[in-house]
Chains A and B, each alone.
Chain A
Amino acid sequence: MKQILVCEDDPTLISIIRFKLQKDKIGEVIMAQDGREAIDLMKSREFDVIISDIHMPFHSGLELLTYLRNDLKKNTPFIILTAEGLEKTVMHAFNLGVSDFLTKPFSPNELSMRVSRLI
């Protein structure tokens, strides 16, 4: 089963994303509630796709992306899901190698479709 890492510190969203992706049989969802937990998981396991917020404790989503691309040297699809949709942030993220960028408020249906497209 596909492994999906979701890095999100908002507990309200955690259950929605988890239920949606698992209900749509996209894959098994592993949660990380802060950047440090995410880095530990990224180092120890392989994931088919990573979904991350930008603003999280310890390491931001963009730091995770940089770590994934530059340090772990992996091309794992990486989706940013954030409330902050400023143009310069979006461009910065794409410069760093993000695969897709979704802003909140978001549609779970749309997220599910975008994730399945990348896997």
Chain B
Amino acid sequence: MTVSWFKSLPFNIQALLSICFFFLILSLLFILIIQISQLVKSVSTYFRNKYIGEIQNEVSLIVVQSAFSETPDASFQYKLKKLQALKKKSRYLSMIIMNEIVSMKKNLTGESAEYLENVYRQLGLREISISKVKSRNWKRIAKGMREIEVMQQTDTIHHLVKYLHSSNYYLRREVRLCLAGIAPKPLFFLDTINEFLSEWERMLLFEKLKQRPAELIPDFSAWYRHPNKSVVSFCVEMTVQFGQMQNIGKLEALLMEADKQLICHIIDSLRRMEAVQSLNAVGSILSKSQSSKLIISCLQFIRSIGDNSCEKIVTPFIRHKNPMVRMEAIRTLHETGASLSLNDRERRSMLAHIQHPLLS
């Protein structure tokens, strides 16, 4: 009856009602999807909550009790068996166990960390990570890489290297971070990298390098003349962070060839390394520079390194058109013990600011 009523309507009304119906069906479909999604999430949460406490306890006990135990094997094997039994119950539990172990490993060092690596291998989780790296889904590959890196599985590097040339930017970034964390030569991929290294990636690479043994940290001057400017910038920063004082001369030489932005960065780096020997080079740049940003970098260097012998080259800048430059110049003169004439109201205000303990 409904159908015949519908057919009795004019065509345009039929069209309108059909579209109404279409939107209604879509709306109901969306609501259904949301319901299903909520159900799946609550089941997962229930499942996870049921076992997470037990898993955390078992792994913690292994980590804590196996160290210094009289008979480590007995208790270790017993707890391992419990974990294996849990792992076999379902893939989801296996995933929770993996996540817990990896998460714990990130926070631990020393013997405890080694025990966790042992657990990871004995539970067969290493094979799971490797199979993830070999899969097609980029999220799975990246997850596998992370697990390998956190668990320091250095003998699996050959599975990862091919992703350095992946078409997926996020995979390329992940593999670089992973290799920085486990490769014997942490930054070997810098030799051939031609894409821009973002500040974010540089930060993450630095965090990875910090955790490597000191003897594996490369000499960053190897990349000072890299065609990729972001690599040069990264290596300059790493030179400072790892205190490679022997490269101060090379950094100074780089000052002559670099662009303005890199020059500022190099001067800041030399300042942080307290490169007294670079005072003349920086002074020379200061006297020729027109850029406010560069002038400020030079003044900060002089303030940090110099003494009142620099008064002559700094004083002209207290009359610079840029107020930030003027402030920096006054700060430099004040902190290097130079004399300051206080006739100017602005200078007095700047000096009061500089001298106040809550503002320094």
CB < 8 Å: which of A10, A23, A107 contacts B112?
A107
Task: Report whether over half of chain A's contact residues are helix, strand or loop; otherwise say mixed.
Answer: helix
Question: Given contacts A12-B103, A16-B63, are A108 and B56 in contact (CB under 8 A)?
Answer: no
CB < 8 Å: which of B56, B57, B103, B107 contacts A106?
B107
Q: In the complex, how many angstroms separate the beta carbon of B110 from the nearest chain A beta carbon?
A: 3
Q: Mark A2-13, 1 if CB is under 8 A from B, else 0.
A: 000000001111
Q: Which residues of A contact B52 (CB under 8 A)?
A: 11
Q: Which residues of B contact A107 (CB under 8 A)?
A: 108-113
Inter-subunit contact A11/B111 (CB<8 Å): no
Q: Tell me, yes or no, whether B324 is within 8 Å of chain A by CB.
A: no
Q: Mark B102-129, 1 if CB is under 8 A from A, else 0.
A: 0110111111110000000000000000
Question: Given contacts A105-B108, A107-B110, A108-B110, are A19 and B103 in contact (CB under 8 A)?
Answer: no
Question: Given contacts A15-B60, A16-B64, are A109 and B111 in contact (CB under 8 A)?
Answer: yes
Q: Tell me, yes or no, whether A20 is within 8 Å of chain B by CB.
A: yes
Q: Mark B267-297, 1 if CB is under 8 A from A, else 0.
A: 0000000000000000000000000000000
In the bound complex, what is the Cα–Cα distance between A18 and B111 (angstroms)? 17
Q: Which residues of A contact B107 (CB under 8 A)?
A: 10, 12-13, 83, 104-106
In the bound complex, what is the Cα–Cα distance between A15 and B108 (angstroms)? 13
Q: Tell me, yes or no, whether A40 is within 8 Å of chain B by CB.
A: no
Q: Tell me, yes or no, whether B61 is within 8 Å of chain A by CB.
A: yes
Docked complex: A101-119 residues within 8 A CB-CB of B: 104-110
Q: Which residues of B contact A23 (CB under 8 A)?
A: 64-65
Size range of the interface on B?
20 to 34
Question: Given contacts A12-B100, A12-B103, A12-B104, are A19 and B60 in contact (CB under 8 A)?
Answer: yes
Inter-subunit contact A15/B57 (CB<8 Å): yes
Q: Tell me, yes or no, whether B36 is within 8 Å of chain A by CB.
A: no
In the bound complex, what is the Cα–Cα distance between A23 and B262 (angstroms)? 54
Q: How many A-B residue pairs have CB under 8 A?
A: 57
Q: In the complex, how many angstroms separate the beta carbon of B58 from the nearest chain A beta carbon?
A: 9
Inter-subunit contact B56/A11 (CB<8 Å): yes
CB < 8 Å: which of B56, B65, B100, B109 contacts A105?
B109
Q: In the complex, how many angstroms separate the beta carbon of B211 from the nearest chain A beta carbon?
A: 8
In the bound complex, what is the Cα–Cα distance between A49 and B100 (angstroms)? 28
Inter-subunit contact B61/A109 (CB<8 Å): no
Q: Which residues of B contact A106 (CB under 8 A)?
A: 107-109
Q: In the complex, how many angstroms separate the beta carbon of B241 from the nearest chain A beta carbon?
A: 11
Q: In the complex, how many angstroms separate the beta carbon of B93 from the nearest chain A beta carbon?
A: 16
Q: Mark B59-102, 1 if CB is under 8 A from A, else 0.
A: 01101110100000000000000000000000000000000100
Q: Which residue of A lies closest to B65 (CB)?
A: A23
Inter-subunit contact A20/B109 (CB<8 Å): no
Q: Which residues of B contact A16 (CB under 8 A)?
A: 60, 63-64, 104, 108, 112
In the bound complex, what is the Cα–Cα distance between A16 and B60 (angstroms)? 5
Docked complex: A50-103 residues within 8 A CB-CB of B: 83
Q: Which residue of A lies closest to B101 (CB)?
A: A12
Q: Which residue of A lies closest to B58 (CB)?
A: A15
In the bound complex, what is the Cα–Cα distance between A11 and B109 (angstroms)? 18
Max chain B C-beta neighbours (<10 A), residue from A10, A15, A104? A15
- Besides the contacts A12-B107, A107-B113, A108-B64, what 19 more A-B pairs have beta carbons closer than 8 Å? A10-B107, A12-B56, A12-B103, A12-B104, A13-B107, A16-B63, A16-B64, A19-B57, A23-B64, A104-B106, A105-B107, A106-B107, A106-B108, A107-B108, A107-B111, A107-B112, A108-B63, A109-B112, A110-B110
Can you offer 13 A-B residue contacts whose CB atoms are under 8 A? A10-B107, A12-B103, A12-B107, A15-B60, A16-B108, A19-B64, A23-B64, A104-B106, A104-B107, A106-B108, A107-B108, A107-B111, A109-B110
Query: 6 closest pairs, A vs B, by CB?
Result: A107-B110, A15-B60, A19-B64, A105-B109, A20-B64, A16-B60
